[in-house]
C-alpha cells in the first residue's frame, strides 16, 4: 500500500531535530509527573516470586516479563499501543472512568481492579490476563509514591524521581499470601495499602525539608525515597503472589466461549484487536489478530473460559467497523459455545475515530464510550479518544450533525503518554447538518488527532457521526 506523502522533504528534515528534542522532553516531563521507578519496582517484585517458574509455564515467560511494561498503563490513558488501546484494559464497567493516582481517591480503585485482575487470570488468555494486571500494579505503586500518599505535597517531581533506580532490589524477600479467598485477600490488600500509604507519607514528611532547602542535596533525599520504592516492591510482590496463587488455581468447570471476528481494515493500524464483551457483566476480552489474514479486511480470534452458566448477549466492536450485538446465547458448564462475528464497515470506510456515531455505551449506561467531557480553551467540549496519525498522509476530516449549532474541530498534536504539544486545530464550518469535510496532512510534529464537539446537548443529540479517514492508494 502506498501513501500520498508530502513533497516537502527538506521541511520534514528540519523538523526532525525539533521532534527528537520534544520527545526527549516528553520522556523527562513524564518522569517528573509520575512515580519514576514503576518498571524497576515491578521487575524487583517479579524477581522474588517463589513460584515464578510455575507462573511462567502457565502464562508464558514473555507475558510475565511484559508486566514491567504494563505497569505503565494508567499513565498511557487513551493511547494507541499498537495491537491494543490502553483503555481496553484501563476502562472497565466497574470503573468506567480514568482512575485517580493519589490519595485520597486512589484508595477506592483497589476493589474493582483487584477483582477484574483475578477474573482475567481465570477466564482470559495469558496475554490478555497479564495486560489486565497492569492497572492494578500501577495504582498500588502510585499509592506508595511519597507525594501521592501525602496530598498537595510541593516539590512533587523531586519526591518522585530523586531516586537511584539501580538500587531497587528486594532480593531475599519472601512474598506473603494476602488471603485464601478473594474477599479475604482484598480485605488484607486494603489493610496492606493503608500501611504502605502511611509509610510513604512519612517519607514525604522526612524528605520535604531537604528538597525545600535553598540548595537541596539530592544525595540526602535518595535514601529516603528508596525506602518507599522498596516497600512498594514488597507490596507488589505480595500482590502478584496472591493474584497468581488464587487466579491460576484450578477452577470448577465452567462454560467456554470461542469465536472469530471478521472486520473492516483499519488503514495504517490494522494490527488492532477487537473488543468482546458479555453485556451486563464484567466479562470481556480482546480478540487478537489471526496469523493468517484475509485478502481484505481483518480477522481475529477470542476465547473465554470458566464462565458462569447462563444466557448472554455478546458485543463485538473494532475501530473502523460498526459494533454488533449477538442474539442471546446460552452457555453450559463443560461445553464450549462458538460465536463468530462479521462486522460491517463504518460509513465512510476507514474511519479511525472510535465510536464515531456514539452508539456504543457498554461501560456506563447513557455515556458514550471513548468520549469524555473535558475543558479545552475555557470551554466544556466532548473529546474523542486520540487516534494515531502518520505525517505526510492526507486525512479526510468530516461530520454529519443533528444539531446545526454544534461545532466540530479536529485537534492534531504531538502526544507522548499524557503530555501534549504543538496542537493544530482544523474546524468544520458552523451551521450545517449535511455532511461536511475538510482535508489536512499532519506534519512530523503531529502524532495523534482528537475530535472536539462543542455542544450543550448530549453528544448523541448533537452529532450523527464524525470521521477521520486517511487517503490511501
pLDDT per residue as tens digits for the range 76-89 = 999 999 999 999 99
Residues 156 and 272 in one domain: no
What average pLDDT does the segment 460-467 reach?
Answer: 97
Residues 190 and 55 in one domain: yes
What average pLDDT does the segment 34-57 reach?
Answer: 96
Residues 103 and 105: their CA atoms lie apart, in Å, by 5
pLDDT score of 33:
56
- Is beta strand 284-289 parallel, antiparallel or unpaired with respect to 314-317? unpaired
pLDDT score of 8:
41
pLDDT score of 74:
95
Return phi, psi of residue 150, to 5°: -115, 100
Final residue belonging to a domain, choices 214, 229, 247: 247
Residues 220 and 264 in one domain: no
- What is the pTM for the complete model shown? 0.91
Task: List residues bridging with 422 in a β-sheet.
Answer: none
- Is beta strand 255-263 parallel, antiparallel or unpaired with respect to 336-338? parallel
pLDDT band of residue 11 (cuts 50, 70, 90) is very low
Does 124 reside within a domain? yes
Does 457 reside within a domain? yes
Residues 95 and 101: their CA atoms lie apart, in Å, by 14
Residues 2 and 135 in one domain: no
Residues 6 or more apart whose CB falls under 8 angstroms from that of 396 comprise 348, 437, 438, 439, 467, 468, 469, 470, 471
pLDDT score of 393:
96
**For the chain, how are helix, strand and coil distributed in percent, rounded to 5?**
35, 25, 40
Residues 269 and 297 in one domain: yes
Residues 43 and 169: their CA atoms lie apart, in Å, by 9
In 10 A of CB 23, how many CB atoms?
13
What average pLDDT does the segment 305-325 reach?
Answer: 98
Cell of 93: 464497567
pLDDT score of 422:
86
Tell me which of 156 and 5 has the higher pLDDT.
Answer: 156
Q: How far is CA 76 from CA 145, 198, 416, in A?
A: 18, 27, 9
Residue 223 has pLDDT above 90, yes or no: yes
Q: Which of 4-18, 154-168, 254-268 has the lowest mean pLDDT?
A: 4-18
Q: How far is CA 371 from CA 87, 88, 178, 424, 454, in A?
A: 11, 14, 37, 20, 13
Residues 6 or more apart whose CB falls under 8 angstroms from that of 75 comprise 30, 34, 38, 138, 417, 418
Cell of 318: 473494532
Does 127 reside within a domain? yes
Residues 195 and 308 in one domain: no
Residues 119 and 153 in one domain: yes
Tell me which of 427 and 295 has the higher pLDDT.
Answer: 427
Residues 172 and 170: their CA atoms lie apart, in Å, by 6
Quote the mean pLDDT of the chain: 92
Per-residue three-class SS string for 358-398: CCCCCCCCCCCCCEEEEEECCEEEEEECCEECCCCCCEEEE
* Rounded percentage of the chain residues whose pLDDT exceeds 90: 86
CATH number of the domain residue 469 falls in: 2.60.120
* Strand positions, DSSP E, 152-254: none
The vertex-197 CA angle with 195 and 203, nearest 5°, equals 105
Residues 20 and 158 in one domain: no
Domain span including residue 366: 1-24+349-473
pLDDT score of 333:
98
Least Cα distance to 233 among 31, 28, 49 occurs for: 49
CATH number of the domain residue 304 falls in: 2.60.40.1120
| Cβ pair 469, 350 in contact under 8 A | yes
Does 29 reside within a domain? no
CA 445 to the chain's CA centroid = 23
Residue 21 has pLDDT above 90, yes or no: no
Does 358 reside within a domain? yes
The C-alpha cell 479545552 sits at: 376
Residues 319 and 381 in one domain: no
pLDDT band of residue 34 (cuts 50, 70, 90) is confident
Residues 405 and 407: their CA atoms lie apart, in Å, by 6
pLDDT digits (tens, 9 = 90+) for 194-210: 999 999 999 999 999 99
Residue 30 has pLDDT above 70, yes or no: no
Cell of 342: 462479521
Residue 167 has pLDDT above 90, yes or no: yes
What average pLDDT does the segment 113-123 reach?
Answer: 98
Final residue belonging to a domain, choices 220, 247, 274: 247
Residues 78 and 411: their CA atoms lie apart, in Å, by 15
Residues 243 and 371 in one domain: no
What average pLDDT does the segment 96-116 reach?
Answer: 96
What average pLDDT does the segment 14-42 reach?
Answer: 58
* Rounded percentage of the chain residues whose pLDDT exceeds 70: 93
pLDDT score of 10:
41
Final residue belonging to a domain, choices 191, 214, 247: 247
Residue 25 has pLDDT above 50, yes or no: no
Torsion of CA 147, 153, 156, 162, to 10 degrees: -60
Q: Which of 22-31, 212-221, 272-281, 333-342 has the lowest mean pLDDT?
A: 22-31
Residues 275 and 172: their CA atoms lie apart, in Å, by 41
The CB-based long-range contact list for 19-28 (8 Å cut-off, 24+ gap) reads 19/414, 19/444, 19/445, 22/414, 22/416, 22/421, 22/422, 22/445, 23/416, 26/414, 26/416, 26/417, 26/419, 26/421, 27/416
Task: List residues bridging with 425 in a β-sheet.
Answer: 411
Burial class of residue 434 in the structure, from the number of CB atoms within 10 Å of its CB (0-12 exposed, 13-18 middle, 19+ buried): exposed
The vertex-171 CA angle with 159 and 227, nearest 5°, equals 20
pLDDT score of 287:
98
Residue 32 has pLDDT above 80, yes or no: no
Q: How far is CA 391 from CA 264, 266, 282, 440, in A?
A: 23, 17, 38, 10
Residues 318 and 360 in one domain: no
Tell me which of 2 and 348 has the higher pLDDT.
Answer: 348
Residue 9 has pLDDT above 50, yes or no: no
Q: Which of 2-16, 238-252, 262-276, 381-395 has the lowest mean pLDDT?
A: 2-16
Residues 211 and 144 in one domain: yes
Q: How many domains does the chain have?
A: 3
Residues 286 and 301: their CA atoms lie apart, in Å, by 9
Amino acid at each position: 500500500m502506498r501513501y500520498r506523502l508530502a513533497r516537502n522533504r527538506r521541511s520534514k528534515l528540519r523538523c526532525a531535530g525539533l521532534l527528537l528534542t520534544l520527545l526527549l522532553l516528553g520522556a523527562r516531563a513524564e518522569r517528573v509527573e509520575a512515580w519514576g521507578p514503576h518498571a524497576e519496582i515491578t521487575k524487583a517484585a517479579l524477581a522474588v516470586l517463589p513460584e515464578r517458574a510455575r507462573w511462567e509455564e502457565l502464562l508464558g515467560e514473555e507475558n510475565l516479563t511484559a508486566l514491567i511494561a504494563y505497569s505503565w498503563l494508567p499513565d498511557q490513558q487513551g493511547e494507541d499501543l499498537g495491537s491494543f488501546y490502553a483503555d481496553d484494559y484501563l476502562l472497565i464497567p466497574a470503573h468506567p472512568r480514568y482512575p485517580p493516582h493519589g490519595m485520597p481517591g486512589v484508595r477506592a480503585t483497589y476493589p474493582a481492579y483487584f477483582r477484574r485482575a483475578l477474573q482475567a487470570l481465570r477466564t482470559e488468555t495469558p496475554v490478555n490476563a497479564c495486560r489486565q494486571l497492569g492497572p492494578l500494579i500501577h495504582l498500588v505503586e502510585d499509592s506508595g509514591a511519597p507525594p501521592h500518599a501525602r496530598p498537595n505535597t510541593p516539590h512533587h517531581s523531586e519526591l518522585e524521581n530523586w531516586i537511584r533506580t539501580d538500587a531497587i532490589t528486594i532480593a531475599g524477600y519472601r512474598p506473603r499470601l494476602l488471603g485464601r479467598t478473594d474477599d479475604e485477600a482484598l480485605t488484607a490488600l486494603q489493610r496492606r495499602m493503608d500501611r504502605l500509604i502511611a509509610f510513604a507519607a512519612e517519607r514525604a514528611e522526612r524528605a520535604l525539608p531537604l528538597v525545600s532547602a535553598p540548595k537541596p542535596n539530592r544525595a540526602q533525599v535518595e535514601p529516603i525515597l528508596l525506602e518507599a520504592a522498596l516497600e512498594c516492591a514488597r507490596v507488589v510482590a505480595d500482590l502478584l503472589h496472591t493474584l497468581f496463587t488464587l487466579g491460576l488455581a484450578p477452577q470448577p468447570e465452567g462454560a467456554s466461549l470461542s469465536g472469530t471476528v471478521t472486520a473492516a481494515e483499519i488503514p495504517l493500524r490494522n494490527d488492532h484487536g477487537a473488543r468482546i464483551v458479555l453485556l451486563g457483566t464484567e466479562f470481556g476480552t480482546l480478540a487478537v489478530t489471526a496469523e493468517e489474514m484475509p485478502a481484505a479486511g481483518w480477522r481475529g480470534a477470542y476465547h473465554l473460559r470458566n464462565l458462569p452458566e447462563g444466557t448472554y448477549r455478546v458485543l463485538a466492536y473494532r475501530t473502523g467497523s460498526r459494533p454488533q450485538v449477538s442474539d442471546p446465547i446460552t452457555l453450559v458448564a463443560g461445553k464450549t459455545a462458538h460465536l463468530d462475528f462479521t462486522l460491517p464497515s463504518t460509513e465512510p470506510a476507514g474511519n479511525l475515530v472510535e465510536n464515531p456515531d456514539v452508539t456504543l455505551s457498554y461501560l456506563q449506561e447513557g455515556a458514550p464510550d471513548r468520549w469524555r467531557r473535558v475543558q479545552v480553551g475555557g470551554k466544556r467540549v466532548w473529546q474523542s479518544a486520540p487516534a494515531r496519525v502518520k505525517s505526510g498522509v492526507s486525512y479526510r476530516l468530516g461530520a454529519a450533525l443533528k444539531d446545526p449549532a454544534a461545532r466540530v474541530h479536529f485537534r492534531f498534536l504531538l502526544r507522548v503518554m499524557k503530555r501534549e504539544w504543538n496542537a493544530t486545530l482544523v474546524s468544520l464550518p458552523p451551521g450545517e447538518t449535511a455532511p461536511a469535510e475538510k482535508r489536512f496532512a499532519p506534519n512530523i510534529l503531529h502524532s495523534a488527532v482528537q475530535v472536539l464537539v462543542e455542544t450543550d446537548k448530549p453528544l448523541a443529540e448533537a452529532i450523527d457521526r464524525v470521521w477521520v479517514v486517511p487517503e490511501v492508494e
